[in-house]
Amino acid sequence: MALSDLKDLIKDTPISQVIGSYIKLTVRGNHIQGLCPFHPDTKPSLIVNDQKKLFMCFACQTGGDAITFVQKFKGVGFVDALKELAQVVGVQFSQYEEEKKKNPKREMARKILSRAVKIYRKTKPSPVYQEFLKKRNLDPQTCDTFSLGLAPNNSIISGYLNSLPEGEEKKLALDVAQEIGLIKKDRTYYDTFRDRIIFPIWDRFGHLQGFTSRALFAHQKAKYMNSVGSFIFDKKNLLYGFHLAKTPISQKDAVIVCEGNMDLIALHKFGFDNSIAIMGLALGEQSQNVLKNLTSNIYLGLDNDDAGLMAAERINHGLMLSGIIPKYLDFSPHKDPDEFLESEGALKLQELIDTAPALVDILIDKSMPESIPTLMDKKLTLLKSAFAILAPLGNNLEASERLAFLAKRLGLKSDPLQINQAFEEYLKDHPADRERHSITQIQTPKEFPKPNLQKTEQSLGHGEKLFIQEIIQNPEYLTHGKVSEMLDLVKQTDVSLLVSRLRKIYFEVDESEFPQIVMSLINSGELSLPLREVAGAALYRYKPMETTDEIKSQVFEDIKAKILVDRLMEQKKMLKLEIDDCSDEKNLDPLMQKLLGIEKDLKKLKTLKLS
């Protein structure tokens, strides 16, 4: 029988019987009603109508048929909702499912991963591992919930697989374990994860997919290491902890999105069980759809650094395209949710959530100067910068209200209708802003050109180019202490964000994965064209060499000098333009003094470079 037959059977079953198996329903006159599970409901707001075969909540405006209810209530896809409903109506889903051959590799992978979790969990805890658990306040219950374990240094998984009886099954087990990156081979087999804390990763249905691991010792090169991408481990479509969080997300009608295993574990430990973690720094389209099906209240609680903000902007863009405006949790002065909770506690985080602003409003504020300019053209240019930020929303009420408020803030007297018409024209002329947007890519609008500023934003200085080249060609430079100093110097925001992200990723992946990471960033469309060109050229010449700290320090000093020269030359250029436009001799003298000071600074830098 076909799936359409099962859907007909579900439709023929009273919807009150279906929904009544998940929540308590009562009959009130001609109505069947219950507390709505999709928002905090104190009096029955959900009405179930057997004649219409539909449900509706008149408080949160959620409604649909039985399949819709189960999808939203259980946080599953359409087919999985049908599987769930098959049990409710008392039939076997397999009767309606097309016969499919089992995939031997996938079945073997799941067997190996399940066995590996048990082995890591049974490994005798080392003093360093126990110290880590104590330091991070990880109690036995939390360790059990997330199945935390220890990978010892003796290649215990390889030993287990080699102990299997000789035959085809053993060969398949070893081949699959290699393919999913659990073991490696160099003459003999050895484990990928050694002397590491193990965090199992599940898909949204609770099936094991792979592992994230954390180094036990400081000398280990990669602090964090994930399972390699494979037929079973697709990082971009995995949400860590979702199988535990999907029901709380539905019940609380909200989700907190963080990055990193420890942040997620900390949130759950402190009672925020409606939290999930992205794997890496992206939220794939499939994962976005999963979350949107459960709630429209999304809080971005990513790390409080440049890479975290860039990831938040990217996620914000994708959600805004679908009409969802996520809110932003600023953990400063703490770096992440884990540190915030340990220092401030759950009540403070709840206050942060209750007062969290929309990220789009933060981005608009960041695009505004400290003081509002008096010239009308400059005010209109600032309004246009907000057009670029709001473009993913399209010309809807959320965008219109924000533009009207900003116009008043800027002191513009145009009525809202005129502003909306200008925004519509902008959307027609800038379709790319509707497709991908980041605060780091905002260009001066065409209608209000500022040639010098636009050129400054788009071009890279000689020093910045050298900085990117050295970092990509020799990623080991990312570990040097002077990188932070260089990031404070660079002018281009996207250069700073790229290096910050590469530095974070470098400690999480194998060195062999670094070129692939750089290539994915180049191809992502998130970087300006000049930066992509420099990064691509550097990647073409990628050939890392071991160097001493002394050489690295000298390279960074040379680049620092070039960046400072670039900056002074730019200041000199802008100052000369001011001098050329100056007609008042009284104002001309201080400008000439500034120019003389810049010339002296340039001479000092050139002298230092020659010495």
Rounded CA Rg of the chain: 29
Cα(419)–Cα(403) distance, integer angstroms: 7
Q: Specify the higher pLDDT residue, 578 or 406.
A: 406
Q: Looking at this protein, which amino acid is placed at residue 21?
A: S
Q: Is the pLDDT of residue 200 over 90?
A: yes
Of the candidates 497, 566, 562, 491, the one whose C-alpha atom is nearest the C-alpha of residue 535 is 497
Q: Specify the higher pLDDT residue, 595 or 220.
A: 220
pLDDT digits (tens, 9 = 90+) for 26-38: 988 778 999 999 8
**Average pLDDT of the chain to the nearest whole number:** 83
Can you tell me which residue has the tokens 């189960």? Answer: 70
Can you tell me which residue has the tokens 């473009």? Answer: 391
Q: Looking at this protein, which amino acid is placed at residue 498?
A: L
> Tell me, what's the pLDDT at 442?
33
Can you tell me which residue has the tokens 């007909």? Answer: 8
Of the candidates 301, 209, 216, the one whose C-alpha atom is nearest the C-alpha of residue 255 is 301
Q: Is the pLDDT of residue 241 over 70?
A: yes
Just give the CATH number of 3-95: 3.90.580.10
Cβ atoms of 367 and 439 closer than 8 Å: yes
Just give the CATH number of 104-233: 3.90.980.10
Cα(520)–Cα(467) distance, integer angstroms: 20
Cβ atoms of 341 and 262 closer than 8 Å: no
- Which among 102-111, 164-173, 571-580, 582-591 has the top mean pLDDT? 164-173
Q: Where are the alpha helices (DSSP H) in 490-548?
A: 493-506, 514-523, 529-540
> Tell me, what's the pLDDT at 337?
96
User: What sign has the CA pseudo-torsion 582, 584, 587, 590?
Assistant: positive
Cβ atoms of 197 and 216 closer than 8 Å: yes
> Tell me, what's the pLDDT at 217?
92
Instruction: Please state which of the four CATH numbers 3.30.70.100, 3.30.499.10, 3.40.50.300, 3.40.1360.10 is assigned to the domain occupying 237-357.
Output: 3.40.1360.10
> Tell me, what's the pLDDT at 190?
95
Cα(567)–Cα(563) distance, integer angstroms: 6
Can you tell me which residue has the tokens 């890496």? Answer: 280
Q: Specify the higher pLDDT residue, 560 or 454.
A: 560
* Residue 151 β-bridge partners: 196
Cα(131)–Cα(140) distance, integer angstroms: 13
Q: Where are the alpha helices (DSSP H) in 391-492?
A: 397-410, 416-429, 431-435, 451-458, 462-473, 482-489
Of the candidates 226, 221, 260, 256, the one whose C-alpha atom is nearest the C-alpha of residue 240 is 260
Strands 255-259 and 275-278, by their bridges, are: parallel
Q: Residue 174 — pLDDT band, cuts 50, 70, 90?
A: very high
Q: Residue 110 — pLDDT band, cuts 50, 70, 90?
A: very high
Q: Residue 286 — pLDDT band, cuts 50, 70, 90?
A: confident
Alpha-carbon distances, residue 424 vs 2, 255, 390, 418, 432 (angstroms): 47, 32, 11, 10, 14
Token representation of residue 589:
């003298």
pLDDT digits (tens, 9 = 90+) for 511-545: 777 877 876 676 455 666 567 667 767 776 777 77
Q: Is the pLDDT of residue 478 over 90?
A: no
What 3-state class would DSSP assign to 130?
helix
Report DSSP letters for 74-122, one per residue: HT--HHHHHHHHHHHTT--GGGTSPP----HHHHHHHHHHHHHHHHHHH
Provide mean pLDDT across the span 38-43: 87
Cα(215)–Cα(221) distance, integer angstroms: 8
> Tell me, what's the pLDDT at 196?
95
